[in-house]
């Protein structure tokens, strides 16, 4: 999608839409602002971000959530957002920042990976088709915009290894859009159904135990090969969880 097809009302303040034209940016340890962007952050974590970070740190998901996150207001009132806690020091640095840079670099969250761009998706048509577009942010402290290197969007996605994150975040966007319809069957927010949904999205280790306890994979009639993948792989389990939630809460059949 490019600026000519995007409703200008959807463009957040202070951002410009990035289309097919290359943009200038380069972040490296010699920029004068190195690590300036890793402090005092409202860093939102999506379910796949939590999966990657808890595995990177070797923590059970409940411990990661308890130790490193807090709940905040999401994009709608029917499901909370999850934010990373900053360290309790004067600069409120990210807990994963060291003198050398990011200590979780290959598993850093989507927002860090995409920066200085931001990615948004829009549902198109009646199916699950999404259009994605990127905005450029313009923070005065970030000197990377004045470097010579240029990227196209495709080069940026490749350089930042964004494909798997984008794929998982698009699935999450579909689930979150469904949560925005208040599907909690009259229980209200923070009722048992919403808590179950929160566990599936953010407490994957507990969901794995839940799946085994209720024999969900067999009851969901997954074929053997997919069952094996879900049993072994957290990302496959999360994908199954998204699909299971949509089917349990009444937005379609299990995929």
Binding site for ligand SF4 (CB under 6 A): 27, 31, 33-38, 41, 94, 96-97, 102, 104, 108-109, 112, 115, 141-144
> Smallest distance from the beta carbon of 94 to ligand SF4, in angstroms?
3
Nearer to ligand SF4, 147 or 236 (CB): 147
> Smallest distance from the beta carbon of 54 to ligand SF4, in angstroms?
13
> Smallest distance from the beta carbon of 156 to ligand SF4, in angstroms?
13
> Smallest distance from the beta carbon of 136 to ligand SF4, in angstroms?
12
Residues 6+ apart with CB under 8 A from 140: none
Nearer to ligand SF4, 109 or 183 (CB): 109
Nearer to ligand SF4, 100 or 126 (CB): 100
- 210: tokens are 């839940």
Distance between CA 76 and CA 82 in Å, rounded? Answer: 13
Q: Using an 8 Å Cβ cutoff, are 22 and 151 in contact?
A: yes
Nearer to ligand SF4, 92 or 124 (CB): 92
Nearer to ligand SF4, 102 or 216 (CB): 102
> Smallest distance from the beta carbon of 170 to ligand SF4, in angstroms?
21
Query: How does 175-186 read in b/e, with b if 16+ C-beta sit within 10 Å?
Result: bbbbbeebbbee
Nearer to ligand SF4, 25 or 133 (CB): 25
Residues 6+ apart with CB under 8 A from 136: 15, 16, 17, 18, 23, 116, 117
- 113: tokens are 């990976």
> Smallest distance from the beta carbon of 56 to ligand SF4, in angstroms?
10
CA-based nearest residue to 156, from 27, 15, 6 = 27
Return the beta strands (E) in 60-128 as ranges: 69-72, 81-84, 97-98, 101-102, 117-123
CA-based nearest residue to 202, from 77, 68, 18, 96 = 68
Q: Torsion angle, CA of 67/81/37/29, rounded to 10 degrees? A: 70
């Amino acid at each position: 999608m490019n600026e000519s097809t995007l409703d200008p009302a959807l463009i957040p303040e202070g951002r410009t839409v990035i289309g097919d034209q290359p943009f200038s940016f380069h972040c490296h340890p010699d920029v004068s602002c190195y690590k300036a962007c890793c402090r005092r952050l409202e860093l939102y974590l999506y379910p796949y971000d939590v999966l990657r970070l808890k595995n990177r740190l070797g923590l059970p998901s409940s411990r990661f959530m308890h130790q490193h996150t807090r709940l905040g207001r999401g994009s709608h009132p029917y499901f909370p957002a999850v934010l990373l806690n900053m360290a309790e020091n004067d600069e409120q640095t990210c807990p994963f920042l060291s003198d050398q840079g990011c200590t979780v670099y290959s598993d850093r969250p989507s927002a860090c990976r995409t920066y200085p761009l931001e990615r948004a998706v829009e549902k198109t048509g009646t199916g699950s088709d999404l259009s994605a577009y990127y905005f450029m942010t313009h923070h005065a402290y970030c000197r990377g915009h004045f470097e010579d290197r240029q990227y196209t969007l495709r080069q940026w996605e490749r350089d930042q290894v964004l494909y798997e994150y984008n794929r998982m975040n698009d699935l999450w966007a579909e689930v979150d859009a469904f949560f925005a319809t208040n599907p909690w069957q009259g229980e209200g927010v923070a009722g048992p159904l919403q808590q179950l949904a929160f566990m599936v999205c953010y407490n994957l280790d507990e969901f794995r135990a839940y799946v085994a306890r209720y024999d969900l994979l067999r009851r969901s009639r997954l074929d053997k090969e997919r069952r094996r993948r879900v049993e072994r792989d957290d990302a496959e389990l999360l994908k199954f969880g998204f699909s299971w939630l949509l089917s349990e809460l009444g937005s379609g059949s299990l995929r």
